[in-house]
Amino acid sequence: MPLGTGPEIDPAVFDRFGIEDGAERVRLLRALADSGEMVTLHTGPDADCHVVSRVLGVDGGHGTFDLEFNTDDARRDAFRSAETVVAVALLHRVKLQFELARFTIAGDGDRGRLRAPLPRRLARLQRRDAYRVEPTPSVAPRLWLNGPDGEQAVRILDVSATGIAFEWPQGLAAPVPAMRLSGCRLELQATAPIRCELQVRAIESMADPFADPADGVLLRVGCAFDGLESSAARAVQIFVNLAQSRGRKARPRLA
């Protein structure tokens, strides 16, 4: 289920979910244009004045993009005088939010158009289940738990912007929901090791056809990051965004 369709007013939203890669921002705008999804334009994060629009086209060479702007004179005037315009859209059930600056409005009625520079701030807001990175030979995050005998490496099953799932190590007492795991260490590609605390959210058994029944049941443990520093949360989000982008490029194209 997607997040709310109104603008997120938390000023830290772009710090946590912002997309740094300019090419990825352009790709998402083009995806909005290709899909014809609605984009709601707001005169500020908490303003009531809004216009329902669509992305008409993206000009990467000139660094601009165009949106529909079919509305009445009063709303047109309100947008012309607005200091900030915030755009919100849903693309494949994932919420996108970006800001428009130095835009121009031309035309009336059905011919109304809004042209703006490509946004420098675009956030992809997603819940835990929206996108998870599964380890591959080229994307191999690593996690260590702080056990009674020191750090112990565990097999990561997936990573998202807000949590991680892994195989609970054999020989340790099984965790329980809401249990806190302190002193963990997460390593992501091209990122300094992240010291973190995890809170257990879900525990389920895993089937392993090659396991010896005498070894006991394998457990999949899903945890949320607890109190992650903003710089670390940003690093995790960037890792997820880049892994998602790489996965998309690796998909075979249909002829």
Mean pLDDT of 218-232: 89
* pTM reported for the whole predicted model: 0.51
Of 2.60.120.1270, 2.30.110.10, 3.40.30.10, 2.40.10.220, the CATH number of 142-250 is 2.40.10.220
pLDDT number for residue 255? 36
The token pair that represents 231 in the structure block? 């710089």
Distances 50 to 3, 4, 44 between C-alpha atoms, Å: 19, 15, 9
Residues forming a β-bridge with 114? 67, 105
pLDDT tier at 59, thresholds 50, 70, 90? very high
Alpha-carbon gap, residue 122 to 21, rounded angstroms: 10
Residue 4 has pLDDT above 50, yes or no: no
Give residue-wise pLDDT tens across range 6-34.
Answer: 788 777 777 778 888 899 899 999 999 99
At the fourth CATH level, the homologous superfamily of domain 13-125 is: Electron Transport, Fmn-binding Protein; Chain A (2.30.110.10)
Indicate the domain borders of the chain. Answer: 13-125, 142-250
Report the number of secondary-structure helices (H) and strands (E) in the chain: 4, 15
Residue at 33: amino acid letter: A
* Residue 237: per-residue pLDDT: 84
